Structure 1
Amino acid sequence: MRVLENLDVATMVEGGAPYGLIPDGAIVLDGTQVAWVGPQAELPSDWQGCERVDLGGRLVTPALIDCHTHLVFAGSRVREFEMRLNGASYEEIARAGGGILSTVIGTREASEAELLRDALSRADALIAEGVSTVEVKSGYGLDVETELKMLRVARQIPQHRDLSVTCTFLGAHAVPKGMNAEVYLEDVCLPALRQAHAEGLVDAVDGFCEGIAFDADQMRKVFAVARELGLPVKLHSDQLSNIGGAQVVEDFAALSADHVEYIDEAGVECLKRAGAVATLLPGAFYFLKEQQRPPVDLFRKHGVPMALATDWNPGSSPLGSLLLTMNMGCTLFGMTPAEALAGTTRIAAQALGFTDRGVVAEGMRADLAVWDAEHPAELSFHIGFNRLHSRIHGGRID
């Protein structure tokens, strides 16, 4: 048993003080769990004699959670970024070998060791900002072998880093060049999903419901197999248009709908009935120079919780900072700092189906971040300035 003392703690427990803030607090750790949290003056006598760790008046929050990433990939899309800025069209970039196809080729050609090396480098950047849990998607293989390879690599990350990783199958990410969408689903995507499940490589299933990818009925086919396998689902939905993704979210009680810039009020009501989280991804909005913001006020009106995530990927969101994501959620989407911190802790955990993390409370995982900060709003305020002092993952202090 250890007592963390001389700290302020933003518990992020709903109700009560903003941020669930406890000034002059203390936290008791019992192995991998939080045994007690409260004002230091009220520390129970049973723990008075335990080992003490003085945090020097610093701020403690739940460790951050990045609930939507594509950390496993190979190749670089920086050249097409340059081409775009020099006036090249999407078609011209595609003809030059750019776009998702270049990432698919690079990922297929890379070895597991190469993919793991690069994924660990990306994971290190997130860990350095107080992240303890990361979701990692497949989706850059678009064949059975490479989709499984990506998931195997994602499963290996916790063997090399003190990080929790949850793996999401995203075989329905794009249609391979020269292939029909229906044929791809039947011959590649669904067999890959079944095999990934059989090998214990997948925790959830995602898909891209969009005019340039898969329609709502095609996503229902994928999610029907996920339901058969007992896997939760989530959906890339309403990013570029509204083609009925929110109804799919409701029909399958999805954990989250992600992007959601073009969702309408009826769609928001679908999310509410489903109990789904709206996961906002300002990195892609910023990088693609989109103009339509997600309807934050509608999410508030209908009580749909909002998560924030980096969407770290090689093409549309090369964003490796969850802290910057929080700032973007505030400056670009109009979220409050309290909503941004909830969206990267308590609500991010909900978006991944976790009930054991995301808040500092008795019985929860001892995943904590210690900040050189006086107020939780500082985490969303600073740009390019990381105030992390230390990170505690499963009770282990970095």
Structure 2
Amino acid sequence: MALKLFRHARIYTPLMGGCPAAGDEQGKLAVYEDGCFLVEDGCFLAVGATRDVEGHLKGRAADREFDLGGAAVVPGFVDPHTHACFAALREEEFSMRLEGKSYLEILQAGGGILSSVRAVRSASDEALFAFSRSLLESTLLYGTTTIEIKSGYGLDVETELRMLRVIDRLGRETPQTVVPTFMGAHAVPEEFRGNPEGYVTLLREEMLPAVARQGIARFCDIFCEEGVFSVEQSRRVLERAREHGLRLKVHADEVHDLGGAVLAGELRAVSAEHLLAASDAGIEAMRRSGVVAVLLPATAYSLRKPFARARTMVEKGVPVALATDLNPGSCFCTSMPFVLSLAVMGMELTPEEALTGATLNAAWAVGTAHDAGSLEPGKMADFLVLDGETPAVFAYASGARPIKSVWKLGERVA
């Protein structure tokens, strides 16, 4: 591939360390006011001050040069928590929530996740792929170059495997890097109503072995929440997932402080996600085990709930990541810039901390930190050219899309 030289960039990037950025490190960025970078074979060859980067040319001329005109450049967003494989919207539930119905009340009435399960089970593979691809196109426009997608709208062996095949195809046929997560433990399906233990047995004895044989999913997630899966049920499912070679994630303490964050710490899960109701004990358990707290401020906004305690988590030394939670019900959001704006204005993160949460720490949360999440030699050349001078523009330009262009593997894709 051609050697590309990008000049006159105001570069802002977290830098790779041996673990996710936590505490004071979360807000530290490398900044190059008159920055420059080289891209070859889809990866960064050199990034930094212009004179240093030009030294890497060693007399070689770049095949193409780009003048970025002093615009800010940041890593492409890594969205570490989405449910972006589904077949229909659930706009009517928005009105139900405005009328006072709770998330769990809607779920128990056969709506929520179970509504999406019925839609996915009845959709063809092609229809499911086409609908999901349109969602990814929107996320790409908003700067997401790596995205995690969970299954969990099948809730039987056949449909969960089918969802994972569609997610895998999305990774092969769209520009983005896609990280597949198995979440058969998203809810108890209607056919097991009144028998959650029977479904836990199905997860452990049939679904997980089948998912492992298929070889697509990299992680296993579970909705550890009152009215869904208990802490002990979650522990048994996750331990079996680990036996089958999957890394662990936990939907933890979204509505109630059930102890999901504590469980994530005990099992040394890669991440605990949601955490609106996480206790001090849960935060401490995550800190001790280095669990990444994946926070979803657009979900709190959509559900009209208090935000997760991001400031406390950072101050306690828990690495914080940010995600959209793109899904058809509780949070139909494709915009990472909106998430960063909420994180700064609603969760008291600094713009620098929010950027790290949406890039490098998010990459750690989905196992791609050695390839994505920062502008450094050897990593994928995934970056955003901003319509602004600093990362603060995501909060400053509330509700806007302050992005001039999106680049994936050194190619402009949006």
Please, what TM-score do these two structures have when normalized by structure 1? 0.94
Note if 1:204 corresponds to 2:219: yes
What SS does the aligned partner of 1:182 have?
A: helix
1:319 maps to a residue whose letter is C
Note if 1:238 corresponds to 2:253: yes
Tell me, in whole angstroms, the C-alpha distance in 1 between the residues paired with 2:103 and 2:296.
Answer: 22
Deviations 1:91-121 (A, max 9, x none): 9856875332211111111111111111111
Q: Conserved in 2, the CA contact under 8 Å of 1:265 and 1:298?
A: no
2:378 maps to a residue whose letter is G
Q: Conserved in 1, the CA contact under 8 Å of 2:114 and 2:187?
A: no
Match of 2:160 among 147, 155, 160: 147
Matched with 2:141 is: 128
Tell me, in whole angstroms, the C-alpha distance in 2 between the residues paired with 1:221 and 1:16.
Answer: 33
Tell me, in whole angstroms, the C-alpha distance in 2 between the residues paired with 1:76 and 1:53.
Answer: 40
Match of 2:410 among 384, 395, 398: 395
Match of 1:257 among 268, 272, 276: 272
Aligned-pair distance for 1:341? 0.9
Tell me, in whole angstroms, the C-alpha distance in 2 between the residues paired with 1:307 and 1:81.
Answer: 26
1:53 maps to a residue whose letter is F
Aligned-pair distance for 1:185? 1.4
Tell me, in whole angstroms, the C-alpha distance in 2 between the residues paired with 1:206 and 1:190.
Answer: 16
Note if 1:35 corresponds to 2:48: no
Matched with 2:350 is: 336
Matched with 1:70 is: 83
Identify unmatched segments of 5+ residues in structure 1: none
Note if 1:156 corresponds to 2:166: no
Q: Conserved in 1, the CA contact under 8 Å of 2:27 and 2:356?
A: no
Tell me, in whole angstroms, the C-alpha distance in 1 between the residues paired with 2:331 and 2:103.
Answer: 16
Deviations 1:60-79 (A, max 9, x none): 11111111000011223112
**TM-align CA RMSD:** 2.1
Tell me, in whole angstroms, the C-alpha distance in 1 between the residues paired with 2:314 and 2:108.
Answer: 43
Matched with 2:362 is: 348
Identity of aligned residues (%): 37
Note if 1:363 corresponds to 2:386: no
Matched with 1:219 is: 234
Deviations 1:311-363 (A, max 9, x none): 01111111121111111112222211111111110110011122221111122
Change (3 A) 1:322 1:190: farther
Q: Conserved in 1, the CA contact under 8 Å of 2:87 and 2:132?
A: no
Tell me, in whole angstroms, the C-alpha distance in 2 between the residues paired with 1:213 and 1:111.
Answer: 28
Q: Conserved in 1, the CA contact under 8 Å of 2:83 and 2:149?
A: yes
Aligned-pair distance for 1:230? 1.7
Q: Conserved in 1, the CA contact under 8 Å of 2:27 and 2:350?
A: no
Tell me, in whole angstroms, the C-alpha distance in 2 between the residues paired with 1:39 and 1:90.
Answer: 50
Aligned-pair distance for 1:16? 12
Please, what TM-score do these two structures have when normalized by structure 2? 0.90
Change (3 A) 1:175 1:33: same
Tell me, in whole angstroms, the C-alpha distance in 1 between the residues paired with 2:396 and 2:230.
Answer: 39
Q: Conserved in 2, the CA contact under 8 Å of 1:5 and 1:53?
A: yes
Change (3 A) 1:359 1:94: closer
Matched with 2:128 is: 115
2:62 maps to a residue whose letter is C
Q: Conserved in 2, the CA contact under 8 Å of 1:63 and 1:358?
A: yes
Matched with 2:21 is: none
Aligned-pair distance for 1:310? 0.5
Structure 1 stretch displaced more, 345-354 or 50-59: 50-59
Q: Conserved in 2, the CA contact under 8 Å of 1:312 and 1:318?
A: yes
Q: Conserved in 1, the CA contact under 8 Å of 2:26 and 2:319?
A: no
Tell me, in whole angstroms, the C-alpha distance in 2 between the residues paired with 1:108 and 1:16.
Answer: 41
Match of 1:82 among 67, 90, 95: 95
Tell me, in whole angstroms, the C-alpha distance in 2 between the residues paired with 1:125 and 1:379.
Answer: 17
Q: Conserved in 2, the CA contact under 8 Å of 1:11 and 1:359?
A: yes
Structure 1 stretch displaced more, 11-20 or 264-273: 11-20
Q: Which has the higher contact order (CA 8 A, sep 6+)?
A: 2
Q: Conserved in 2, the CA contact under 8 Å of 1:171 and 1:189?
A: no
Identify unmatched segments of 5+ residues in structure 2: 17-24
1:29 maps to a residue whose letter is V
Q: Conserved in 2, the CA contact under 8 Å of 1:5 and 1:27?
A: yes
Q: Conserved in 2, the CA contact under 8 Å of 1:122 and 1:320?
A: yes
Tell me, in whole angstroms, the C-alpha distance in 2 between the residues paired with 1:16 and 1:286.
Answer: 24
Tell me, in whole angstroms, the C-alpha distance in 1 between the residues paired with 2:261 and 2:96.
Answer: 34
Aligned-pair distance for 1:248? 1.7
Tell me, in whole angstroms, the C-alpha distance in 2 between the residues paired with 1:249 and 1:83.
Answer: 32
Matched with 1:7 is: 9
Q: Conserved in 2, the CA contact under 8 Å of 1:29 and 1:395?
A: yes
Q: Conserved in 1, the CA contact under 8 Å of 2:297 and 2:308?
A: no
What SS does the aligned partner of 1:174 have?
A: coil
Tell me, in whole angstroms, the C-alpha distance in 2 between the residues paired with 1:295 and 1:124.
Answer: 31
1:345 maps to a residue whose letter is T
Counting matched residue pairs gives 397
What SS does the aligned partner of 2:354 have?
A: helix
